[in-house]
Amino acid sequence: MSTDTTTYRIEKDFLGEKQIPADAYYGVQTQRGKDNFHITGTQMSAEPYFVKAFGYVKKAAAMANRDLGCLDGKIANAIIGACDRLIAGELREHFVTDFIQGGAGTSVNMNANEVIANVALEALGHQKGDYHIINPNDHVNFGQSTNDVYPTAFRLALILRLASYMEALRKLQGSFFAKAKEFERVLKMGRTHLQDAVPMSLGQEFHGWGTTIGEEVERITEVRNLLREINLGATAIGTMVTAAPGYPQLATKYLSELTDVQFILGGDLVEATSDTGAYVQLSGVLKRTSTKLTKICNDIRMLASGPRCGLNEINLPQMQPGSSIMPGKVNPVIPEVVNQTGFLVIGLDLTVTLAASAGQLQLNVMEPVITYALFKSIFTMENAVNSLRTNCIDGITANAEHTRNMVLNSLGIITVLKPSLGYKQCAEIARECYQTGKSLHDVVVKERKLLTQDRWDEVFSFENLINPKFEK
């Protein structure tokens, strides 16, 4: 083993010695985690909100332990200063442990403890690794356990991450509503069972999509509130072993003040330490949203099908050539990629469900894979939502004349005459038109003279087709 101290420093724990890069702020336990877990290839540093959340949690813990007389004020303030740097977005590159790991997140917690300790040591004029002065376990992690710090930081990071995801959904809703306004006078045929149903406006269709996305923002708001219940101070299993009296309440109070998130200390810390129900609920909401977006994108692809041999009701922005063999072909690549993202999220929901069910007794040791799954779901869905809005929805145009002609040539509009002519006669007329190829207008007005031309024009006006008047 090389001991070139210009490149490495030597740290040790009860398992032995390890070489640590000289410029690294992490230490021996982080290095073990880095060596042991090569699973996703995604390090903790990839999620900035997770690193920031650990900064907030460790700062709140240091403030509480300082006030309770458990930490020397000088040491506590150095730790707090180091945490402030994490909160400011610094030092992320030193969070090197893989998201999926054994140990219920211990490597992640120790990564935070060691980085904070070494930053604090340098702030006081000491060398990295001088843990007899500020120790990752005895000082930074005082009165804490991975089992309360990790889930608390995870929940805070989810709350922070969800804020930008919700904003992306709100913007998408706004784009749908803008198109609804633009297309409010575009007449088209509504369809059920992929068959002609009754007329509507293209604006109504887009407005419906906007409404359904708004419902998802409401569901996410509800589930975010579940994440505000934390077990900070529960330590290992919820009995608060090694935590000073009053620490859970004080640390939770400080965390709320630092983050402007009103956290609630779990009423039963044993239950709160092993419970992962909020993650299952959140994952279910993410799956629900991805399912809705998948349906919307399927609709968009269908309405844009063609252009000559499909529905061709709308035109999507042309993003790239669609074929290596068919010249001039353009594919709906943005809705397609949103579909695929939705499928990923639906699969990750199963991962969360299985991991949540795999907890045993007083701890769920599978929380790291839940962390990975939820962050991956939110991150990819946010990117997909933003791409759908900017690269597709905002640039959609309507083929208004084509959609109007399809409505007027459809047999589905016979439904509008049912109140005056009755179901049986309307069915007979529709059947005749279907068999002969005649138009409804020819049969109803010209041949059977059931309506005058003026009455036909009144019944089949745009306003009456979109907002039909009730007739007995």
* DSSP 8-state assignment for residue 332: -
Q: Are 132 and 75 in contact, with CB atoms under 8 Å apart?
A: no
* DSSP 8-state assignment for residue 469: P
Identity of the residue numbered 180? A
C-alpha radius of gyration, the chain, whole number: 31
Q: Are 21 and 7 in contact, with CB atoms under 8 Å apart?
A: yes
Contacts of 458 (CB under 8 A, 6+ apart): 464
Catalytic residue among 145, 274, 323, 410: 323
- Measured CA to CA, the distance from residue 113 to residue 340 in angstroms comes to 38
- Measured CA to CA, the distance from residue 125 to residue 115 in angstroms comes to 16
Residue located via tokens 């724990």: 13
- Measured CA to CA, the distance from residue 404 to residue 256 in angstroms comes to 57
- Measured CA to CA, the distance from residue 340 to residue 441 in angstroms comes to 44
Give me 65's structure tokens.
């332990």
- Measured CA to CA, the distance from residue 80 to residue 236 in angstroms comes to 23
**192-227 burial: b if 16+ Cβ within 10 Å, else e:** eeeebebbbbbbbbbbebbebbbebbebbeebbeeb
CA angle 435, 438, 443 (to 5 degrees): 110
Residue located via tokens 């740097």: 85
Q: Are 219 and 151 in contact, with CB atoms under 8 Å apart?
A: no
Residue 212 CA neighbour count, 13 Å, CB half: 15
Angstrom distances, CA of residue 333 to CA of 298, 313, 389: 12, 17, 13
Element (H, E) at 21: strand 16-21
Cis peptide bond prior to 307, omega within 30° of 0? yes
Respond yes or no: is residue 323 known to be catalytic: yes
- Measured CA to CA, the distance from residue 263 to residue 265 in angstroms comes to 7
Give me 41's structure tokens.
């290839």
- CB count within 10 Å of CB 149 equals 28
Closest by CA to 142, choosing from 192, 207, 68, is: 68
- Measured CA to CA, the distance from residue 353 to residue 364 in angstroms comes to 12
Question: Residues with catalytic annotation?
Answer: 323
